[in-house]
Structure 1
Amino acid sequence: MPDFLTLANHCANPRQGTQPNGLPYYDGQGTLTEEMRWLRSFIDEGYLWYKEVPANLNMADYKTVLDYFAVLKTPLITASGQPKDRFHFTYPSEVWEAMSGAGVTLGYGITWSRSTGATPRVYVVTMVEPDSPASKAGVLRGDTLVSVDGADATTSTALAALSPTAAGQTHAFALKRGESTQTFSLTSQKVTEAAVQNTRVISTSTGAVGYLQFNDHNAIAERQLLDAFTTLKAANVSDLVLDMRYNGGGYLLVASELAYMIAGPAATDGKVFERLQLNDKRPPQAPQMFRTVSYGLAPTSLKAGVTLPYLGLKRVTVLTTAGTCSASESVINSLRGIDVEVNLIGGETCGKPYAFVPQENCGTTYFAIQMQGANNKGFGDYADGFQATCKADDDLDHALGDSSERLLATALSYRANGVCPATPLRARSSSSTGPLQLLRPVGKEIALRPR
C-alpha cells in the first residue's frame, strides 16, 4: 500500500483533545520524515502533473513539511509566461473548515484591493460585509487607506494590521473619502460572510431583470442561492445579471446547482456540467451532471434532496474581473456548453479550469491540483481566462447593486442595445496607479469536489 494510506495521521506533533465538531483527533505519534513521505506519496498518487515534479528533491533538505510541499509541483511555465501551476497551497485545517463550511473568516469585514501600477501602493476598500465591525463603524466601499495607528499605509506595520492574526485586535484606520479623512477604530473578530447579497429586481422597458451579487461557492451558499432564485422566479424576471466579479470559486456542486437554476431542466437534462480529467493513475470518473436538487453541504441550513427553483433563461449576463475564478468560471463554461448565451461585462477572468479534493493530515489541509474540467462540448482550455464581451473597470464610487454602478450600468445598456461602450469605461484609479487587484486568501480561488 502507498505511504499516502499507511502513514496518514502519523504526526511529528499530534494534536490532542477534540475537533471543533466534537470528534477526537485521529493523530498518532510519528516523525517529520513520515509526514514528508506521506506528502510525497499524496503528490505521486493524485497530482495532475505528477510526472513533472522534479525527481531529485531530497526530503532532508527541507526543515518543515510546508517547505517540502512548496516544491512538490510542476516547475513548467506556460506559453503566456505564467507558472503552469499557480494554485498550490495549504491552510491550517481549522481555518479552512471555518472558511469553507460556515463562511467564517477572521478580520474586520473588509475586502481590500491594491493598485498594481506605480508605487507607493494604494489600498482601497472593495467590499464591506454587512453586520461586520467595518459596516457598523461606517466604513464604505471606495474608502482609501491613509494610515493605521498613525503609520503610513505603505509601511509593514500598517499592512500587517489588514490581516489580523487573532480576534480582539484593535487598530485605528484613517480612511480617505472624497476630500476628507475619517478615523475608524476597528476590532478584529470572526466574521460570517454572506455568499449571496443584494438580490433585487430591476424594472426595464423590456421586462424585469434580476440581479444578485454572488461572492463565494461555499457550503452556506446553497441555501442563500435557493432563496435568491425563489425570489427572482416569483418576480417573473426575464433576464439575469449575475455579479461574480469577486467570486473566486469553491464547491463545484454549488456551481452545478447555480447553472441549473439559471438554465432550467429543458436545457440541462442529460447534459454534462463538467467532465473531470485526472492523472493516468486514477480511474476515469463519471461526469458531473447539472444538479436539480440540493446536495446539503450545510444540512443545518438546507437538507439534501430539496428541489431547486429555476428561471429557464436562454441568456445570462455575468459581471467579471480577474477576481472571477475557478468554480465561477465553471458556471460560465458549463452554460456555454449547453448553448446558453453568456455575456461577460467587466474584465478577463482569472483562468483556472482545475479542481482539488482538499486533503487533511496532521492539522494541515493541502491543495494540489488533481483535475482539469471540460464542459458538455469538451471545452476546458481557458487557463488564460475568459475575455469580456464588453470591457469596463470596477467602479468603487457606487455601491454594488446600484444601477448606476459602472459594470451593472454597462450590462443593462448592452442588454438593451447590444453595443459595448466605444471606449472601455475606466476606474478612477487607472490613470495614476494602474488597475486594482483584489486581495484575498488563496483558498477563495478554487474549485472543490467533496470526498
Structure 2
Amino acid sequence: MRIKHCFTLTISSSACLLLFGCGGGGSESSSITPVAPTPQADERWTRGLFEDASLYKDRCVAPRSGVSEITGEMYTDTAGDSMDEKLWLRSWTNTTYLWYNEVDDNDPADFSILSYFNQLKTDFRTDSGSFKDNFHFSQSTQEYLTRTQTSTSFGYGVSWEFVQATAPRRIIVRYTEPGSPAEQAGFARGDELIALNDIDFINTENSDEIDMINEILFPSNAGRETQFTLRKTSGEQLDYQLSAQSVAISPVHNAKVISTENAEIGYLQFNSHIQSAQSQLISAFELFDQSRIHALVLDMRYNGGGLLALASQLAYMITGAGQTDGLTFNKLTFNNKHPNINPVTGGQVQPTLFYSREIDYDRNVFTSTSLPSLGLARVYILTSASTCSASEALINGLRGIDIDVVLMGDTTCGKPYGFYPTDNCGTTYFTIQFQGSNQKGFGEYADGFIPTPSPLFEADVQGCLVEDDFNHALGNVNEGMLSAALNHLQTGECPVQTAAKSPIMRLSANDSLKIQTSSSILDAIILENAINQPIRDPND
C-alpha cells in the first residue's frame, strides 16, 4: 500500500502591550489592556464563490519582465500580491481539477502560496487505501522548461534508486547519462552511496549534515566539488570527485538486437517521454525493422511518463497501421463541468488516436514523415513502481486494441490521470485534470498494473513479478528482468524467486525528494507526468 502523508504546521505569535496610566491629584490609578484587533479577512475571498481564474492570472508578488530565454516569449506578469496568486490557484482548481468537488474551500489568507496550493486537492483514497491523488506538485517554471524543452537537467547525470530515506539510509545507482560527470567518473549500476565529503550518509542524524547532503544531491549551483564515496558491487569502496553541471538527458539507452537460438529480439531502455525521445525512438525502431526482430522487450522500469502524444507514437511503432487504424489510443475525461469541452485548451474533447507520423513538437504539428513500425502483436515491458503515467497509458492503450502485453517486474505506480502543466508567476503547477481510458473504455488502474501469471481482474496483466537486479548492467542478458523476459519468450514460465518489492521511496516530480531525518515522513510523488497537447495537421 502506498500512503502519502502531508502535514502543514503553522506557528503564530502575538505580542500583548500592557499600558499603565497614572491619574493626577489622588491615589487612584488605572491600567488599560487594549484588545488586539481582529485580523480582517480579505474581502476578495468568499467561501463557495469562485470568480473566473483569468481575473487573477499573472498578477504576481514578484512579476517577471522581458523575454523567456527558453521559450522566447514575452512575460505577461503584472504587479499583484500573494492573495492574487492564491485566488488564481483557487479558481483554476475549481474549474479544471478532476475532483474539484472534493477540495475544501479554505481561507487562502491562512496559507503561504505554495502551502495553499498543496492542500488544493482531494484527500479521498482508493480501494487499497492509497490516496487517490499522489501526483499534486509544483516546481520552478525555469526548471520545468529546461528539462522538457532543452532536454537538460542540472546535476551529476546519475539516476538514484532511493531505497531508504531515513537512517540507515540507502540509495543505489540505477544508471548514468552518457557523457555526464557521473559516467565519466566511473559510477556504475549497483554502486551504493556511503559518504559525501566527510559526512556519513548512511547514519547521520545531524540536521546540518542532512541539509548539506540535500544541497549536494540536489544542487542548484555549479562549481562545488564533492567527494562521493561509493561501495561497488564487488565490495570495494572508492572515492570520486564530482562537480555538478548542466547534463544532457538521453531518454533512450541501449537500443540493440539480441540474438537467441530461435529469433532476433529487440531491446530498448526508455526512460522518459520527452521531446528529444522521438528521434532516438525512430532510430531504434529503424534498427529493429532492418534486423527483422521477432519480439521486443521495452524496458520502462524507470520511466515516469511525459508526453502522451509520444506514447501514442511509440504504440504505433510497436504495432503499425493494420492494428491501429481508426482506433483510440487514449480518451480523456475531464470533470463533470466539462463533458465535451477541454477546460484548459477550450477545444472539443476528442480521443487521441495512434499517431503514425512524426511531430514537430516546437510547432505542435504533424509532419508528413511516417513513423517506422514493426507490426508486432505482442510486447514485453519491464516495469517497476516508477513506471508511471504516459508509460501506463502505453500499456493500457495497447491492451485496448488486444495487443498481448506481458509485464516483467513490479506493479506500476497507478496513474491513469494527467494534467497540463501551467505556469503562473514563475511557478509551474501540476494538478490532475483528466483521466485516460483506452479503446475499450478501461482506465481504472489507480493501484497500478499488476504482473501475474494468472490475471483475474482488469488491472492484472499477464507476466511475472521479478525483482530489480542491480548486480548486472541494464541491457545485459543476465540482468534479472531482461533474463526473465527472454526465458518467458522461450518457455512461457516465470522465474522461481521471491516477489518483487517496491522501493520505499520514489523520486519526486522535480527530481528533488529530499533525504529525511528518522523523524520525518516521506511525501513521495512520481517524476514525470502524462500530458496531452492537441496536435495539429499543418495541412488542415
TM-score normalized with structure 1 length: 0.94
Code of the residue aligned with 1:439 in structure 2: it is: L
Task: Say yes or no: does 1:109 pair with 2:157.
Answer: yes
Q: Structure 2 residue aligned with 1:294, among 325, 347, 358?
A: 358
Within-5 A mapping of 1:369-380: 369-380=432-443
Code of the residue aligned with 2:472 in structure 1: it is: H
3-state SS in 1 of match to 2:91: helix
Contact persistence 1:113–1:436 (CA under 8 A): no
Code of the residue aligned with 2:359 in structure 1: it is: Y
Counterpart of 1:334?
Answer: 397
Task: Say yes or no: does 1:398 pair with 2:437.
Answer: no
Q: Structure 2 residue aligned with 1:30, among 80, 83, 102?
A: 80
3-state SS in 2 of match to 1:37: helix
Which segment is superposed worse, 413-422 or 96-105?
96-105
Report Cα offsets for 1:73-131 as digits up to 9, x if no partner.
Answer: 11212221111111100011111011112221111011111224995121111111110
Code of the residue aligned with 1:275 in structure 2: it is: K
Aligned-partner Cα distance in 2 for 1:340–1:185: 48
Q: Structure 2 residue aligned with 1:136, among 172, 184, 204?
A: 184
Within-5 A mapping of 1:103-252: 103-116=151-164, 119-154=167-202, 155=204, 156=210, 157-177=212-232, 178-252=234-308
Contact persistence 2:274–2:306 (CA under 8 A): yes
Q: How many pairs were matched up? A: 442
Aligned-partner Cα distance in 1 for 2:367–2:142: 24
Task: Say yes or no: does 1:4 pair with 2:53.
Answer: yes
Aligned-partner Cα distance in 1 for 2:414–2:526: 15
Report Cα offsets for 1:365-402 as digits up to 9, x if no partner.
Answer: 11000000110011111000011211111111111111
Within-5 A mapping of 1:431-446: 435=503, 437-440=505-508, 441=511, 442=525, 444-446=527-529
TM-score normalized with structure 2 length: 0.79
Task: Say yes or no: does 1:13 pair with 2:62.
Answer: yes
Code of the residue aligned with 1:78 in structure 2: it is: T
Task: Say yes or no: does 1:448 pair with 2:531.
Answer: yes
Shift of 1:168: 2.4
3-state SS in 2 of match to 1:17: coil
Aligned-partner Cα distance in 1 for 2:481–2:531: 28
Code of the residue aligned with 2:75 in structure 1: it is: Y
Structure 2 stretches lacking a partner, 5+ long: 1-49, 205-209, 341-348, 452-462, 512-524, 535-540
Aligned-partner Cα distance in 2 for 1:118–1:32: 35
Task: Say yes or no: does 1:408 pair with 2:482.
Answer: yes
Contact persistence 2:126–2:446 (CA under 8 A): no
Aligned-partner Cα distance in 1 for 2:506–2:256: 25
Distance change (3 Å), C-alpha of 1:115 and 1:101:
same
Contact persistence 1:244–1:324 (CA under 8 A): yes
Aligned-partner Cα distance in 1 for 2:57–2:115: 19
Aligned-partner Cα distance in 1 for 2:401–2:243: 47
3-state SS in 2 of match to 1:444: coil
Code of the residue aligned with 1:35 in structure 2: it is: E
Which segment is superposed worse, 152-161 or 116-125?
116-125
Output the aligned Cα RMSD: 2.0
Aligned-partner Cα distance in 2 for 1:170–1:128: 18
Aligned-partner Cα distance in 2 for 1:382–1:101: 30
